[in-house]
Amino acid sequence: MSVAPLDKRGVASVIRTISFNIGFVLSLNITIISMVQFIPYDVALKLIMAAGLVSDIGTYTLTDLCNALTKSFLLQAIAMAAAIPFTLSGRLERKF
């Protein structure tokens, strides 16, 4: 916030908070969407909502949920790592 002028810090704070909240919601949705590529949506929903206290999930277990989450976060980490060169190239261009 020190970059923003004193009279605009409230606006800058609101924009930062809104950006953080939107990013948080989007990341959760992307996690669920990518996770259901590895286990069915209804099973994932039951396991997430009931913390494992579920019957009628077929042959799926919490281990399957953990594996799906692991793969989902790995996909997201790869996507974020792919963005690093673009971020760095933008910063290098501004310095010169």
Question: What would the pLDDT profile of 42-85 be if each residue is shown by its tens digit?
Answer: 877 777 776 555 566 677 777 887 888 888 888 888 988 998 88
Element (H, E) at 3: none
- pLDDT score recorded for residue 35: 81
Q: Considering the domain boundaries, does residue 1 fall inside one?
A: no
Which residues span the domain enclosing 43?
A: 6-95
Flag whether 35 is in a domain. Answer: yes
Considering the domain boundaries, does residue 68 fall inside one?
A: yes
Query: What global pTM score does this model have?
Result: 0.55
Could you give the number of structural domains in the chain?
1
pLDDT computed for residue 18 by the predictor: 92
Structural domain contains residue 31: yes
Q: How far apart are CA 76 and CA 65, in angstroms?
A: 16
